[in-house]
Amino acid sequence: MTTGSGLTVEVRDRIARIQLDRPARLNAIDSTTMRDLVQAFDSLGRDESVWAILLTGAGDRAFSSGIDLHEVNEENQAERLAAMPMGGVQRNMFEVVLECPKPVVAGINGVAAGAGCELALAADVRIAAEHARIGLPEAKRGMGANFGCQLLPRLIPRGLAFEMLYTGELISAEQALHWGLLNRVVPSESLTEEALAMCERIVANAPITVQRYKAMISKGGELPIASALRLNVGPNPYTSADRAEGVAAFVEKRQPRWQGR
C-alpha cells in the first residue's frame, strides 16, 4: 500500500514493512508523512495478523534526514510548532512507535538525523548499514529533540548522551554500535536481508509471549525490581492456547503452530 505521502506499507508473512519513501528529500518527514506514520503504526499495532514491524527508508543515502525543514521554513508552522513537544490534536509520532504493542525493528539504511534518529530510538531493535550515521543535530538548528533527550540517556551512558545532544554531531555506525545504541552493523548490501531475518526470527516465536515481553519491559524498566516483578501487563502467555501448543510441540518433537491466542 502506498499512502500518497511518501510512505509505503506492505504486510507479508506476518511482518509489516513500513518504508519512508521520499528519497529525493532524503526521506525527510513532513506533516503528511508524520500523520500517515501515526495512522500506520496505530493500525498495525491492532492488526492480529501482524506480529512484527520493520521500519526503514528508501534508497541507500538516508533512513531519514529528520523533519522536513523546507516545509517548516516555507509554510506557516507556528501553530503546530507551538503545540510541541507533546501537545496538539494528534498523538506524537515517536510516542506511537515507542508504544506500539508489536516488536519494531529499525533497518537504518543511511543517515538517521534529528527526527530520523528519534524514530530509530523509538524502535526496539536497531540494525544499521555500515555507512549509516546517526545523531541529533537540533542544537545546530535551534530545534528541541524532546523525545531524544528522554530516550537517548536511557539507551547509552548519560555523558555520551550529553555529548551527542550538545555537539549535534552525527556519529558513525561503528561508534553507535560501540556505545550500545545499535544492535548490530552489517554490510550495506545485506541490510534488508539482515533486518528481515531478525523479524523472521521474532515471528517464529509465540506472539503473545513476545508482546508480553515488550509490555513488561516498557512499563517496568524504570520501576524498582520489587514493583516490576508484580506487574501484570500485556497479553498473558500462561493462560494462552499458544502456551499449551508450545509445550505439546516440544513433547511431540515438532514445530509449534502459533495462533496468537
What pLDDT, in 10s, does the model give residues 138-171?
999 898 899 999 999 999 999 999 999 999 999 9
- The reply to whether 260 falls in a domain is no
Residue whose grid cell is 551512558: 157
Domain assignment of residue 21, yes or no: yes
Answer whether residue 259 is part of any domain.
no
Mark whether 70 and 122 lie in a shared domain.
yes
- 137, 235: one domain: no
256 belongs to a structural domain:
no
Cell triple for residue 135? 545523531
Q: Write phi, then psi, for 78 (nearest 5 degrees).
A: -55, -45
Tell me, yes or no, whether 17 lies in a domain.
yes
Residue 15 belongs to domain spanning: 7-203
Question: In this predicted model, what pLDDT tens digit does every residue of 81-98 receive, in sequence order?
Answer: 565 566 656 789 999 999
pLDDT of residue 191: 98
10, 48, 99, 118: the active-site residue = 118
Residues 104, 212: one domain? no
Please confirm, yes or no, whether 138 is among the known catalytic residues.
Answer: yes
Q: In this structure, are residues 90 and 39 in contact, taking their beta carbons and an 8 Å threshold?
A: no
Q: Mean of the per-residue pLDDT values for the chain?
A: 92
Q: Is residue 216 part of a domain?
A: yes
pTM exceeds 0.75, yes or no: yes
Residues 128, 242 share a domain? no
Q: Is residue 179, in this structure, part of any structural domain at all?
A: yes
Report how far residue 80's alpha carbon sits from residue 90's, in angstroms, rounded to the nearest whole number.
10
Q: Which residue type is seen at 232?
A: N
Overall number of domains in the chain: 2
DSSP 191-216: HHHHHHHHHHHHHTS-HHHHHHHHHH
Task: Tell me the C-alpha to C-alpha distance, in Å, between residue 208 and each of 65, 217, 257.
Answer: 34, 14, 13
Catalytic, out of 48, 75, 130, 138: 138
Whether 118 is catalytic is yes
Statement to judge: residues 131 and 234 lie in one domain: no
SS3 222: coil
Picking from 203, 225, 243, the residue at the C-terminal end of a domain is: 203
In a domain, 2, yes or no: no
CATH of the domain at 197: 3.90.226.10
